[in-house]
Amino acid sequence: MKRFAPVALLMFTTLTAAAQQPAAVDAPQKVAAVINGEIITVAKLDALYAAIPAPTRAQYDQAGGKVAFLDNYVAKRLLIQEALKSGFDQRPDVKLAVEAARESALFDRYVKEVVAAGVLTDAEVRKYYDDRPADFATPEQVKVRHIVISWKQRSRDDARRVAEQVLSELLAIRLTAAGESEGSRQVFVSRFAEAARKYSEDGSAEKGGDLGWVGRGQLDKNFEQAAFGIRRGMMSGIIETTFGYHLILVEEKKDAGIEPFESVRNDVREFLVGQKTTEVMSSVKRLTNELRQSSKVAIYPENVK
């Protein structure tokens, strides 16, 4: 999809979208994480992930998706828990900053979702989406893990022998986890990740060889040809690239297509609201003037220094 860069609206303070949109939690729910007794449900994680800005979400999609986001969120919550434990949140200046952030988020969302509704209709948002299918095209993608054995610290022959040894081990595991069921696939993915942490010689090793979602043109040509030619849940043979000898596992595949309207509705709306900044701010001014006339407001400039 073509990612939009919304035009900033005058007076708006941009906050992290995840902080602006807390998730409603209904019990019982699947649990995504438990942090010192604090339960993070899958529903809350999904809502937080959907609320982050589209460009940031696209980066996460390329680097592990919600799992990577959850890892960062856990780190954030640990610091927040520590701040609460120490009473940091009770400092007057911190209370003031939290209140200012809350007011800013409420103002921003109310203007964009309520006030702007008189300027931008749902029909206009849908029409923009329907008229520009190319903007929402998604390329074919694969979610891959790999194990790479480099020849930087050894000869090519030695590197090849190590790669063959690892391949032999994984093929033996594959035979014991034979089958096309989801359970069998997940078992093999888990064992492949263990082997990657043990044998792989690049930065992805600590993540079990996870390279996330990748599209064509992002990888070494030989790697790409192999990855896009493998069925979901299957592993390659030994693939040579300029980095060494690789074993590739394809976890998931996505065909080329068009992003559903529901998944991009908020991004499109935010973009179009940005295009109508003048009209939106006129509506804001008109509404605030009306509220001033119908409200009791007393201002004491002599007390303001």
* Secondary structure class of 261 (helix, strand, coil): helix
Which CATH number applies to 140-255?
3.10.50.40
Residue 12: per-residue pLDDT: 31
The whole-number average pLDDT for the span 141-165 is 94
Amino acid at 154: R
Decide if 25 contacts 42 (C-beta within 8 A): no
How many CB atoms are closer than 10 A to CB 205?
19
Residue 238 has pLDDT above 90, yes or no: yes
Sketch the domain layout of the chain as residue ranges.
Answer: 17-136+259-303, 140-255
Which residues have C-beta within 8 Å of that of residue 231, sequence separation ≥ 6?
A: 250
Q: Would residue 31 be called left, alpha or beta, if left means φ above 0 and alpha means ψ between -120 and 50 degrees?
A: beta
For tokens 């701040």, name the residue: 83
> What pLDDT is attached to residue 202?
92
- When mean pLDDT is compared across 24-28, 123-127, 141-145, 225-229, the lowest value belongs to 24-28
pLDDT at site 28: 63
In this prediction, residue 183 carries a pLDDT of 75
Kindly report the average pLDDT of the chain as a whole number.
87
What DSSP element (H or E) covers 143? strand 141-149
Verdict on whether the full-model pTM lies above 0.85: no
Q: How confident is the model at residue 178 (pLDDT cuts 50, 70, 90)?
A: low
Residues pairing with 235 in the sheet: 249
Token pair belonging to 52 = 């982050």
Give DSSP secondary structure letters for 12-60.
-----HHHHSPPP--SS--EEEEETTEEEEHHHHHHHHHHS-HHHHHHH
**Model confidence band, residue 180 (pLDDT cutoffs 50, 70, 90):** low
Confidence class for position 153, pLDDT limits 50, 70, 90: confident
Q: Which two tokens stand for residue 32?
A: 């995504």
pLDDT, position 19: 41
pLDDT at 52: 85
Q: Could you read off the pLDDT of 4-45 as tens digits, one per residue?
A: 544 333 333 333 444 444 444 444 689 999 999 999 999 999
Lookup: tokens for 152: 């930087």
pLDDT in tens, 46-105: 999 988 877 788 788 777 788 889 999 999 999 999 999 999 999 999 999 999 999 999
